[in-house]
Amino acid sequence: MAQNKKKEDNWFLPLILLILLAILIVLLFIIREFKQKPYVPASESKKTDISIPLPSEEKRQEKKFAEKKEAKKQQERKIFPLRGKPKVALIIDDVGWNREIIREIEKINQPFTLAILPKAQHSREIVESLKGNDTFDLLLHLPLEPAPPAQSFDKGLLTTGMKEEELLKDLKDDLDYYRPYIKGINNHMGSLFTTDREKMKIVLGEMKDRGLFFVDSMTSRKSCGYLMAKDMGIRTGKRDVFIDNESDHKYIEKQIWQLVDAARENGSAIGIGHARKDTVAVLKRIMPSLSKEVDIVPVSSLLE
């Protein structure tokens, strides 16, 4: 009896192992088939309607639509008020201290805009020498009070502490002499004065009465001059780029090309430099290349 029991054990264990092996093989086969044939819901197993784009095609169409939308936005931002090449007006500030610099500027033979300090040493002499030259727009470079710690020692400086009568007296004194020759005014310094709406209204009111335009040098981001002039119906514009805050030639050239980039983007741009040897030297050197990229125009042709 014990012997028969032993014989049964001898064939039962291999049978169990064989069954387990068979189950394992079946499971491996099922797993393999599952990996090769991903599950597709019944609703998607039907033939795809050709009018509905596949996922990859849908993504391509969405990308194309987004690109068109962005291109349209870029085009709307680019307003080109003038035809042809982009227009650049270059204002040369602080004219009046150096007669030789003006002679060098005249040799460049471009329609720059010259901003004359009202009471600099050679201002009247320079204006007299230029009054028959139609190449340039002439502006009065009006000294206005800067914000501390900056200081201005220019004669004829208008300050926020002046009463209306005093402001108008000093302003009219400058304008009475230069008015036959100048077309407009831009501010010299003025980072404090141009943020004072009450004082700016007085100055701009006198400009309007005399038919002068105003270019805001934007010596302060808080300047209200440009927007006030527009509100008052005065032809106006504002500076886009200062080209020579440093005297280094490479810096000046870099700023000039930045001005060109601004003109390309918006159709036109206004830059401000100064009557200095380094600035004039760079302008003379790069003017042939610059003239191929933009038209240099008087600032009066770019006003709003």
Residue with tokens 């009046």: 96
CATH number at residue 238: 3.20.20.370
pLDDT higher than threshold 80 for residue 166 = yes
Amino acid at 11: W
H-only helix segments in 37-135:
55-77, 99-108, 123-130
Q: What is the mean pLDDT of the chain?
A: 86
Provide the 8-state DSSP code for 238: E
* Whole-number pLDDT of residue 220: 97
For the chain, the domain total comes to 1
Is residue 72 over pLDDT 80? Answer: no
Model-wide pTM > 0.85: no
Name the token pair of 234.
Answer: 């005065």
Q: Is residue 158 part of a domain?
A: no
Residue 240 lies in a domain: yes
In a domain, 228, yes or no: yes
User: Has residue 255 been placed in a domain?
Assistant: yes
What SS3 class is residue 30? Answer: helix
Q: Does residue 69 fall inside a structural domain?
A: no
Torsion angle of C-alpha atoms 257, 258, 259, 262, degrees rounded to 10: 120
Tell me which H or E stretch contains 15.
helix 2-36
Is 195 contained in some domain? Answer: yes
User: CA 139 to CA 54: how far, in whole Å?
Assistant: 65
Contact 94, 188 (CB under 8 A): yes
Angle (CA) 171-177-178 rounded to 5° is 85
Please, which pLDDT band fits residue 21 given cuts at 50, 70 and 90?
A: confident
In the numeric block, which tokens belong to residue 299? 């600032």
Instruction: Select from 162, 161, 141 the least CA-distant residue to 217.
Output: 141
Q: Can you give the residue range of the structural domain that contains 187?
A: 110-147+174-302
User: Average pLDDT for residues 46-62, to the nearest whole number?
Assistant: 53
Q: Is residue 184 part of a domain?
A: yes
**How confident is the model at residue 62, as a pLDDT?**
66
Tokens 């690109």 locate to 67
Instruction: Look at residue 206 in the predicted model and tell me its pLDDT.
Output: 97
Residue 131 placed within a domain: yes
- Residue 9: pLDDT band (50, 70, 90) is low
pLDDT, greater one: 264 or 76: 264
